[in-house]
Amino acid sequence: MRDTQSIKQRFGIITQSAQLEQALETAMRVAPTDLTVLITGESGVGKEVFSKVIHSLSPRKHNPFIAINCGAIPEGTINSELFGHEKGAFTGATGERKGYFETVNGGTIFLDEIGEMPLDTQAFLLRILESGEFLRVGSSQVQKTDVRVVAATNVDLRDRIDKGKFRDDLYYRLNTVPLRIPPLRERRDDIYMLFRKFSSDIAEKYRSPVIQLSDEARQLLEQYAWPGNVRELKNAAEQLAVLADQKLVTLPLLQQLLPHLFERRLPALSRQEQDQVPFQEREILYKLLFDMKNDLTDLKKLVFELIHTNDLRISDTRPYIALQTPGTNLETGHSVKSGPPSVSHHSFMGQEVSPSLQPVIVDPADREEDEEMEVLEDNLRIEGMEKELIRRALQKHRGRRKDAAEELGISERTLYRKLKQYDLV
């Protein structure tokens, strides 16, 4: 097998990334075979370069190589472009035409953006991959071809399969050897090296001085996300080489010439997306929060009852007093009524407690009454939340009760009763 470094120099691949090195080694290993390769990666990472590496190291290297962007060919003509057509096959077909799979026989075809290929074309491509047979548009005569297919995509094909826009059998046939090229943000050590290479190339082309970056400008370039990957970095280097009026590019000059590098790209919901959150989901969330509150209250009571029942001795009671449920006696686990302390210091489980932390002891007979008050308070909060949900649903649907009731998951009759209950009519 050829040395990886010589392949990198031949195709201008500059990297210190272990992930990219591994992808290159995989391409070199699969090149001598006729296995189909599926290259995945974001737009601008250099997928076509890897397809050329595979072709140049294969036994087909002296035969034709062609790169086709499936997303750039109209759906009505892609079958004719790939497989050819007969005279009179459709309007405008004044003569027969050979397709790419016929003209590149014995060579390699690189199908970029394979996820954009129409479903009927996918069926024809699957037949070629399985048997090497195809039909021209408007012909019934079976043609044979010997073409190696290297496909590439910048989208998740499995997601396209779930949406019914890509054939699963074609996916598994293409994905014989998967090859993933990492984006530039996953190999930040390569950013400055690539920038120097692009700057040097354009300076040599236009016989101008090679621009340099200050430490701050270099740091900014390495921290930028580069959504366009290597292609975007190359464009930035070319812009700086042409527009910079000084050899050293500083941070202020970089901000002046390439202000988009200073933008923060943080994920956030738009206002429209926020308004589209269903009310049912909000109601479920509110109910979950109330259930968690009740569970936490029960857990606190259980801890205090265990301490009291088992006569446990605790070295430091302050954390337990701080977590005390309002209206609960730490020694008995029963609800109490708040009131001023009768003495300046109290003893809790054998320890002296300061007035700010001391529990208030009251007759446990009042426990039943206080529990009813606590339940009533929770019910009032739930009713208030329900009232607010109804008000927002009506506001969203401009007072249309039928639509609001459907949004809330209740009948229109129930909604009308709730409106009267909460004085919303």
Among 304, 350, 363, which residue's Cα sits nearest to residue 331? 304
Structural domain contains residue 71: yes
Highest mean pLDDT among 81-95, 117-131, 406-420: 117-131
pLDDT score of 304? 73
pLDDT score of 10? 92
Beta bridge partners of 40: 153, 180
Kindly state the average pLDDT of the residues 353-360.
43
How far is 186 from 198, CA to CA, in rounded Å?
20
Among 285, 317, 315, 292, which residue's Cα sits nearest to residue 304? 317
Residue 357 above 60 pLDDT? no
pLDDT score of 318? 56
Structural domain contains residue 142: yes
pLDDT score of 172? 95
Which one is predicted more confidently, 268 or 264? 264
pLDDT score of 273? 47
Question: Cβ(67)–Cβ(48) under 8 Å?
Answer: yes
Residue 360 above 60 pLDDT? no
pLDDT score of 390? 84
78-82, 188-192, 248-252, 379-383: lowest mean pLDDT where? 379-383
Question: Cβ(174)–Cβ(60) under 8 Å?
Answer: no
Give the CATH number, domain containing residue 409: 1.10.10.60
Residue 376 above 50 pLDDT? no
Range of the domain at 402: 363-425
Same domain (yes/no): 95, 236 = no
Same domain (yes/no): 28, 170 = yes
Tokens of 290: 């109330």
State what percent of residues in the chain have pLDDT above 90: 53
pLDDT score of 163? 93
Kindly state the average pLDDT of the residues 349-370.
45
Same domain (yes/no): 244, 343 = no
Residue 359 above 60 pLDDT? no
Kindly state the average pLDDT of the residues 139-166.
94
Q: 297-350, pLDDT tens digit by residue?
A: 878 777 777 776 766 665 555 555 555 555 555 444 454 444 444 444 444 444
Q: 25-70, pLDDT tens digit by residue?
A: 999 999 999 999 999 999 999 999 999 999 999 999 999 999 999 9
Question: Cβ(199)–Cβ(244) under 8 Å?
Answer: no
Structural domain contains residue 275: no
Out of 262, 278, 305, a domain closes at 262
Q: How far is CA 401 from the centre of its chain?
A: 37
Among 96, 76, 203, 182, which residue's Cα sits nearest to residue 139? 96
Structural domain contains residue 323: yes
Which one is predicted more confidently, 310 or 179? 179
Structural domain contains residue 41: yes
How far is 423 from 425, CA to CA, in rounded Å?
6
Kindly state the average pLDDT of the residues 89-94.
84
Q: How far is CA 293 from the centre of its chain?
A: 32
Same domain (yes/no): 88, 125 = yes
| Residue 134 CB coordination number (10 Å) | 22
Residue 416 above 70 pLDDT? yes
How far is 279 from 149, CA to CA, in rounded Å?
49
Give the CATH number, domain containing residue 218: 1.10.8.60
pLDDT score of 353? 44
Which one is predicted more confidently, 319 or 395? 395
Same domain (yes/no): 312, 202 = no
Confidence of residue 180 (pLDDT cuts 50, 70, 90): very high
State what percent of residues in the chain have pLDDT above 70: 77
Among 28, 37, 23, which residue's Cα sits nearest to residue 57? 28
Kindly state the average pLDDT of the residues 390-395.
84
Same domain (yes/no): 18, 105 = yes
Tokens of 378: 């929770």
Same domain (yes/no): 96, 16 = yes
Same domain (yes/no): 209, 256 = yes
Kindly state the average pLDDT of the residues 70-94.
90
pLDDT score of 337? 46
pLDDT score of 235? 94
Question: Cβ(42)–Cβ(183) under 8 Å?
Answer: yes
How far is 122 from 55, CA to CA, in rounded Å?
23
- Name the amino acid, one letter, at 330: L
Structural domain contains residue 285: no
Mean pLDDT of the chain: 81
